[in-house]
Amino acid sequence: MPARTVLAIQQLRALNQAAPTPGQLDITFTAADVANGNAFPFSGREVLLVQNADGAAAHHFTVSSVADGLGRTGDITAYTVALSGFSAIDANTLQGWLEGDGNIYLSGDNASIKFAVLRHS
């Protein structure tokens, strides 16, 4: 399989920081790489946002798991995002999700699925 397209991590700003300048609170979504899949570097402090930018049809995304200490897996398989809808996952645990290369693997069934990865401190 070709290399997955890596999603950029976007750092969340805390409320106790100085007033933001224009654009500092904006979130950038990236279209799913349907052919190769996507990945993001995983620290356990990420929130995954998923957008279905298609206003006419529902689409799906998958997050791949790895075997935990007991050999269990639990992929999030073909999760449906309603037309023009959003979904979110608090990716706060490494066990069962952290791939050997330090990433989480995910994919979308259509380029209308868009991902944004936010990291809190």
Burial string for 62-88 (b: 16+ CB within 10 Å, else e) reads bbbbbeeeeeeeeeeeeeebeeeeebe
Which residue segment(s) compose the domain that 9 sits in?
5-15+27-119
- Digitized pLDDT (tens) for each residue of the chain, 121 residues in all: 679 999 999 999 988 888 999 999 999 999 999 999 999 999 999 999 999 999 999 999 999 999 988 898 999 999 999 999 999 999 998 999 999 999 999 999 999 999 999 999 8
Alpha-carbon gap, residue 52 to 86, rounded angstroms: 6
CATH of the domain at 78: 2.60.120
| Residue 41 domain flag | yes
| Residue 79 domain flag | yes
| Residue 68 domain flag | yes
| Residue 21 domain flag | no
Alpha-carbon gap, residue 97 to 120, rounded angstroms: 18
| Residue 20 domain flag | no
| Residue 76 domain flag | yes
Residue closest to 28 by CA, chosen among 44, 40, 11, 43:
11
Number of domains in the chain: 1
